[in-house]
């Protein structure tokens, strides 16, 4: 018996990258969205909820720049997490926690879980985020909570106080078993999240939401990682479109070009 925590990241949307004239990334101009694989984690939580008998709590931390400029995005991501099956949401947003590194993020999230969801039996985390893609938050939190950790889950079952997981390794699948509570990182292949229905979206507005700051958690952030720069990736390909009156002509020209390059 216990609650399921799903960590949800308001992530920078990589499909809407904005740059400054000097080629550096304009972080404040990129909209936030609910991170892709977080939707898979929420879907899994919905499936496991009845077996564990508790509620699903989405825990969000705002990390990109001043939260004051991000109110609308943060509200939307929180609403979406609730519409996708969370029963309540806890959002941590604080100027002091903005632009922290993974040390700060994991300290904050572990502290929220310990203080506000102490009866948890599972913590579900995406294998990686779409903006930073470091894939290290789940392991860090497991270490801080001092509970078993299973990564890259493709299938999760709970019964008799235990969790059984099919874990994806590069060339095979490991079947692992651990006592609860546990931290699990999930892959995108674990399920196909259904988009929330209108009714679910409407109900989401009425679900409980809590907002926390660094001082609620007693945390003074001390990040160690320093960002030197973020810059747009420049592509240096030739970008030659091969044209011709017929497909035969185009194929000929392509073959000639590749022969000239010495690659066929």
Q: How far is the CB of 191 from another protein (least distance, A)?
A: 12
Asked if residues 212 and 92 have their Cβ atoms less than 8 Å apart, the reply is yes
| Interaction between residue 120 and another protein (CB under 8 A) | no
Nearer to another protein, 203 or 230 (CB): 230
Q: Give the three-class secondary structure for 31.
A: coil
Residue of 28, 143, 202, 203 interacting with another protein (CB under 8 A)? 143
- Closest distance of CB 74 from another protein, Å: 19
Name the minimum Å distance from CB 29 to another protein.
13
Q: Does 99 bind another protein (CB under 8 A)?
A: no
d(CA 194, CA 83): 11
Among 59, 90, 152, 158, the residue binding another protein under the rule CB under 8 A is 152
Q: Which of 38, 54, 140, 158 binds another protein (CB under 8 A)?
A: 140
Q: What does DSSP assign to residue 65?
A: S
**Under rule CB under 8 A, residue 150 binds another protein:** yes
**Does 229 engage in binding with another protein (CB under 8 A)?**
yes
How many other C-beta atoms lie within 10 A of the C-beta of residue 211?
15
User: CB-wise, 68 or 169, nearer to another protein?
Assistant: 169
Q: Does 226 bind another protein (CB under 8 A)?
A: yes
Of 130, 57, 126, 70, the C-alpha closest to 97 is 70
Where in 9-68 is the site for another protein (CB under 8 A)?
A: 12, 14, 17, 25, 30
For another protein, which is the closer residue by CB, 76 or 178? 178
- CA distance linking residue 251 with residue 191, whole number of Å: 41
Per the CB < 8 A criterion, the answer to whether 149 and 32 are in contact is no
Q: Is position 159 an interface residue for another protein (rule: CB under 8 A)? A: no
**Residues between 161 and 180 that touch another protein (CB under 8 A):** 164, 166-179
Q: At what angle do helices 102-116 and 137-145 cross, to 10 degrees?
A: 50
Among the listed residues 47, 64, 65, the one whose alpha carbon sits nearest the alpha carbon of residue 56: 47
Pairing of strands 10-12, 53-61: unpaired
Stretches 42-50, 78-86, 204-212, 225-233: which one binds another protein (CB under 8 A)? 225-233
3-state secondary structure of 142: helix
């Amino acid at each position: 018996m216990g609650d399921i925590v799903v960590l949800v990241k308001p992530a920078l949307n990589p499909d809407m990258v904005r740059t400054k004239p000097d080629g550096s990334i304009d972080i404040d101009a990129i909209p936030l969205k609910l991170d892709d694989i977080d939707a898979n984690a929420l879907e899994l939580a919905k499936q496991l909820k009845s077996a564990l008998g508790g509620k699903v709590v989405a825990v969000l931390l705002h990390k990109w720049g001043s939260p004051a400029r991000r109110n609308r995005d943060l509200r939307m991501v929180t609403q979406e997490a609730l519409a996708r099956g969370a029963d309540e949401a806890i959002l941590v947003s604080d100027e002091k926690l903005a632009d922290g590194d993974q040390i700060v993020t994991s300290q904050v999230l572990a502290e929220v879980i310990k203080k506000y969801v102490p009866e948890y039996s599972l913590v579900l985390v995406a294998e990686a985020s779409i903006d930073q893609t470091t894939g290290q938050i789940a392991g860090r939190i497991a270490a801080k909570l001092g509970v078993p950790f299973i990564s890259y889950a493709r299938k999760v079952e709970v019964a008799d106080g235990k969790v059984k997981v099919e874990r994806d390794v590069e060339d095979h699948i490991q079947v692992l078993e651990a006592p609860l509570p546990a931290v699990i990182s999930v892959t995108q292949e674990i399920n196909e999240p259904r988009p929330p229905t209108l009714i679910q979206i409407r109900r989401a507005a009425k679900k409980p939401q809590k907002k926390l700051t660094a001082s609620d958690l007693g945390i003074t952030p001390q990040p160690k990682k320093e960002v030197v720069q973020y810059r747009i990736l420049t592509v240096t390909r030739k970008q030659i479109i091969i044209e011709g009156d017929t497909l035969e002509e185009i194929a000929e020209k392509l073959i000639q070009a590749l022969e000239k390059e010495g690659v066929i």
